[in-house]
Amino acid sequence: MAPPNKLTLPLTPICLLVYLWCFGVFMTLALGSKARHFKWEVDYMYATPDCLENVVMGINGQFPGPTIKARAGDTVVVHLTNKLHTEGVVIHWHGIRQFGTPWADGTASISQCAINPGETFVYRFKVDKAGTYFYHGHYGMQRSAGLYGLLIVDVEEGKKESFHYDGEFNLLLSDWWHKGAHEQEVDLSSNPMRWIGEPQSLLINGRGQYNCTLAPAHNSNGSSLPVCKFRGNEQCAPNILHVEPNKTYRLRVASTTALASLNLAIGNHKMVMVEADGNYLQPFSVNDFDIYSGETYSVIFRTDQNLSNNYWISVGVRGREPKTPQGLAILHYKSTTSSKLPNLPPPKTPQWNDYTRSKSFANKILAFSGSPRPPTNYTRRIFLLNTQNRINGYTRWAINNVSLNLPSTPYLGSIKHGLTSAFDQKSPPETFVNTYDITMPPSNPNATYGNGVYKLEFGKTIDVILQNANALNANVSEIHPWHLHGHDFWILGYGEGKFSKKDEKKLNLQNPPLRNTVVIFPYGWTALRFVTDNPGVWAFHCHIEPHLHMGMGVIFASGVHLVGKIPEEALSCGLTGKLLRSNNHN
């Protein structure tokens, strides 16, 4: 079988212009202007993410949604109209801290009421820090349904990055199921729970190839997939990154996977890690790197390889036994024809359960010199035990034995307005019993539902020790990437087993990296520190969407009395809606 002999770039510059026009992106063109306006409509549409047609959630007819490009200091204004027929929608701007605009964080039940069908909500927020970000749905399983896109913030006009590059590319990584997100929700909420299984495909910029590959001759991960039958301009044809030889490129990579932990590599090319979650790193060289759901990285690489070849960029599953073929893109040296397929095999993804390797990589990530350091002491330390449980036969994830069940009135409004009946007023547990055996399935698998809030004093230093444990089945402990809204945190360290006094001295207070997402490894702990410097209510949760759906998250509230007037549109539902209507009896 001969490989397909034509691969063309589906987004030509002309198409791009037409896209920008058609999809209603009207950017303020006046020089010096810092408000960037976007008019978006969310609707379901048919697409072929992995060559199989499926319903996806698109924005302005695009999947993934349009890439927002802005500069540090700009204000992004997204007029989001919900064109769905019966569903609400919100969009979370992942990694944007929303200083002063906690109602624009885009989390249903937390920062705002979901936008009703036919209605428009205006997200207006400042992107204060350059970096690689993304956005996604944060209601039900709408991220799994395909509601996501990139948000790239460049340095301020006239400023330069500390590292040089000649060009840049963005890769948005996601995983894809053929079963619709609604049905997945029903599966997860069934008794007994029906697990959604591993994704059918991995997508790079919304493109995957289900059950076929362009690299059959040397499929590196042992599968025997048939050759993809491309004619060249399919929606699912792999992305091609056109590069000049002997140049330096920046690759911005974001993972919005629902489940999969990934590893990315470029055939023959070394990369240098320079940015993570919008924060600069102490540069270090890698052949490949792990990226968990909710994380972003920038790497730079030099096109210093044989310029008569092209090279595979491969993305594969780690942390779970992989049942999904690698996602592929092509690095195309302009010195060759773009139709030429790489003659080397795609880089092999490291063994999925080689956690020593994963931890080694994680521990190499350190802050760029001159980055802010964490306060030396913490005010409060919260231990969060991650367990899988059962409640009345339903499978749930719980934190300190409480499984998050989001309220119908968003916290930001109910706390601001003192509506105490909107959620559990009792604070959730600060820790777990110290006799808990994290190496075994829970001896008592029963947990409770809850929606209480950790009230954090404003302006204080908070430590969180995320403690992993064994799941319901013996000898299973999963990876969980935890994402904090509204803040970056310092990763003070990772460790094995249960966190204990003796681990204290291992914590890195010198050059810990600032991130918004951090993983806990199986049977291990992760320590992080942050300062409550952002008034609002903020979710902190496992970024695996089905895990969050099954209760794996907590809520932090801090300085809500300092929050300014919340737009009424964010409060129109539930008890806040009732309150706002209560003075006016028509």
In the complex, the residues that contact its own copies under the rule CB under 8 A are 43-46, 55, 85-89, 108-109, 113-114, 116-119, 139-142, 180, 182-183, 185-186, 189-190, 407-408, 417, 549, 565, 568, 572-574, 577-586
State how far the Cα of 492 lies from the Cα of 511, in Å rounded to an integer: 9
Tokens 């070394």 correspond to 270
Which lies closer to its own copies via its Cβ, residue 91 or residue 469? Answer: 91
State how far the Cα of 275 lies from the Cα of 131, in Å rounded to an integer: 7
To its own copies, the closest distance from the beta carbon of 478 in angstroms equals 23
Which of left, alpha, beta for 416 (phi over 0: left; psi -120 to 50: alpha)? alpha
Which lies closer to its own copies via its Cβ, residue 43 or residue 424? Answer: 43
477 HSE (CA, 13 A, CB side): 23
State how far the Cα of 576 lies from the Cα of 421, in Å rounded to an integer: 11
To its own copies, the closest distance from the beta carbon of 262 in angstroms equals 27
Which lies closer to its own copies via its Cβ, residue 507 or residue 557? Answer: 557
Which lies closer to its own copies via its Cβ, residue 39 or residue 302? Answer: 39
Sign of CA dihedral 92, 96, 98, 102: positive
To its own copies, the closest distance from the beta carbon of 19 in angstroms equals 18
End-to-end CA distance of the chain: 73
Element (H, E) at 13: helix 13-22
Kindly report the number of other CB atoms within 10 A of residue 373's CB atom: 13
Strand partners, 318: 261
To its own copies, the closest distance from the beta carbon of 44 in angstroms equals 5
List, as one string, the DSSP characters of 425-487: -SPPPSS--TT--TTSS-SS-B-EEE---EE--TT-EEEEEEE----SSTT----EEEEESS-
Residue 586 CB contacts under 8 Å (≥ 6 apart), including other chains: none
Kindly report the number of other CB atoms within 10 A of residue 417's CB atom: 17
State how far the Cα of 360 lies from the Cα of 400, in Å rounded to an integer: 28
To its own copies, the closest distance from the beta carbon of 548 in angstroms equals 12
To its own copies, the closest distance from the beta carbon of 453 in angstroms equals 17
Which lies closer to its own copies via its Cβ, residue 18 or residue 217? Answer: 18
Contact (Cβ atoms closer than 8 angstroms) between residue 333 and residue 245: yes
Which lies closer to its own copies via its Cβ, residue 139 or residue 361? Answer: 139
Element (H, E) at 41: strand 35-47
Q: Identify the three-state secondary structure at position 183.
A: helix
To its own copies, the closest distance from the beta carbon of 43 in angstroms equals 8
Going from the C-alpha of 167 to that of each of 243, 270, 333, the distances in angstroms are 8, 17, 13
Element (H, E) at 575: helix 574-581
Which lies closer to its own copies via its Cβ, residue 497 or residue 564? Answer: 564
* Nearest alpha-carbon partner for 405 in 421, 387, 423, 392: 423
Element (H, E) at 483: strand 480-484
Which lies closer to its own copies via its Cβ, residue 121 or residue 292? Answer: 121
Which lies closer to its own copies via its Cβ, residue 16 or residue 186? Answer: 186
Tokens representing 143 are: 């991220």
Tokens representing 15 are: 């198409």
* Nearest alpha-carbon partner for 44 in 18, 25, 19, 62: 62
Show the beta-strand stretches assigned E in 206-270.
240-243, 248-255, 261-266
To its own copies, the closest distance from the beta carbon of 585 in angstroms equals 8
Which lies closer to its own copies via its Cβ, residue 23 or residue 289? Answer: 23
Which lies closer to its own copies via its Cβ, residue 119 or residue 168? Answer: 119
To its own copies, the closest distance from the beta carbon of 449 in angstroms equals 13
**Alpha-helix residue ranges (DSSP H) falling in 396-466:** 411-416
To its own copies, the closest distance from the beta carbon of 207 in angstroms equals 21
Residue 504 CB contacts under 8 Å (≥ 6 apart), including other chains: none
Contact (Cβ atoms closer than 8 angstroms) between residue 174 and residue 205: no
To its own copies, the closest distance from the beta carbon of 540 in angstroms equals 21
To its own copies, the closest distance from the beta carbon of 87 in angstroms equals 5
Which lies closer to its own copies via its Cβ, residue 86 or residue 473? Answer: 86
Which lies closer to its own copies via its Cβ, residue 117 or residue 445? Answer: 117
Contact (Cβ atoms closer than 8 angstroms) between residue 264 and residue 273: no
Contact (Cβ atoms closer than 8 angstroms) between residue 253 and residue 297: yes
To its own copies, the closest distance from the beta carbon of 20 in angstroms equals 21
To its own copies, the closest distance from the beta carbon of 85 in angstroms equals 4
Which lies closer to its own copies via its Cβ, residue 122 or residue 476? Answer: 122
